[in-house]
Amino acid sequence: METHLENSFKWSFAKYLCQPAWAWNWVITQTFDNRKQSQYKTVCQHSWRYFNCELARTSMMHYGFCFQERGRTGRLHWHAIMHVKTNLLGEPSMVDMWNHMFMRYGRNSIEDYRIEDQRSRGPIKRDKAAGIALYLTKYVAKASYNDNTWWDFDGYMGGKAVDASRIAGILGLEHFSSD
């Protein structure tokens, strides 16, 4: 495997995440107060797992990439970009998920994310998806330099966990390669 510079990796990974097949439709941020951060060391991982398990109870399918960071003020939080396919009743809703996460972990944001016109997508540098993908993937690139960084991919189909390669295969995507 060839070694890549951090910037080259960020662009390659962002380009991979910008493929239309991912069909991202939710952008999530979860922030933790000082008490939650001090209670347990893996609060990001724990809350990400909880979030996915809650989604799995009602969604037909969902998958996403999650990235943790410690902000300028020292506040620990994670960001995620996801695809959530609701069930026939329209569940889970963003409002319900926001309430679950707020009651358990505190301040969060769950927003609808859609690219309005796929036909007018310009080069990756001008694309809205690229902006979000680059923002998120900078944490993956930092991981080799910083022990405060963590990232994960999770996916569920019919309430059962599936791995990243199965999701990519279902979507017709190749495994990520930074070449």
Please report, for the chain, the start and end positions of each structural domain, with discontinuous segments joined by +: 6-171
Q: pLDDT tens per residue, the chain (179 residues)?
A: 445 555 666 677 777 787 888 888 898 999 988 888 777 778 989 999 999 999 999 999 999 988 888 777 878 888 898 999 999 998 999 999 999 999 999 899 998 876 554 444 443 334 555 566 666 666 555 544 455 567 778 889 888 898 888 888 888 887 665 55
Q: How far apart (Å, rounded) are the C-alpha atoms in residues 24 and 82?
A: 5
Strand (E) positions, 58-168? 61-70, 76-85, 108-112, 151-157, 160-162
Helix (H) or strand (E) segment spanning residue 28:
strand 26-31
The pair phi, psi for residue 11, each rounded to 5°, is -65, -40
For the stretch 18-32, pLDDT in tens is 788 888 889 899 998
Phi-psi category of residue 170: left, alpha or beta, with phi > 0 → left and psi -120 to 50 → alpha: alpha
Residue the block writes with tokens 């990439």:
65
Q: How confident is the model at residue 108, as a pLDDT?
A: 92
SS3 155: strand
Helix (H) or strand (E) segment spanning residue 31:
strand 26-31
Q: How confident is the model at residue 22, as a pLDDT?
A: 86
Q: How confident is the model at residue 123, as a pLDDT?
A: 39
Q: How confident is the model at residue 48, as a pLDDT?
A: 94
Q: How confident is the model at residue 39, as a pLDDT?
A: 74
Q: How confident is the model at residue 119, as a pLDDT?
A: 45
Q: How confident is the model at residue 14, as a pLDDT?
A: 74
Q: How confident is the model at residue 126, as a pLDDT?
A: 42
- Contact present, 105 and 47 (Cβ < 8 Å): yes
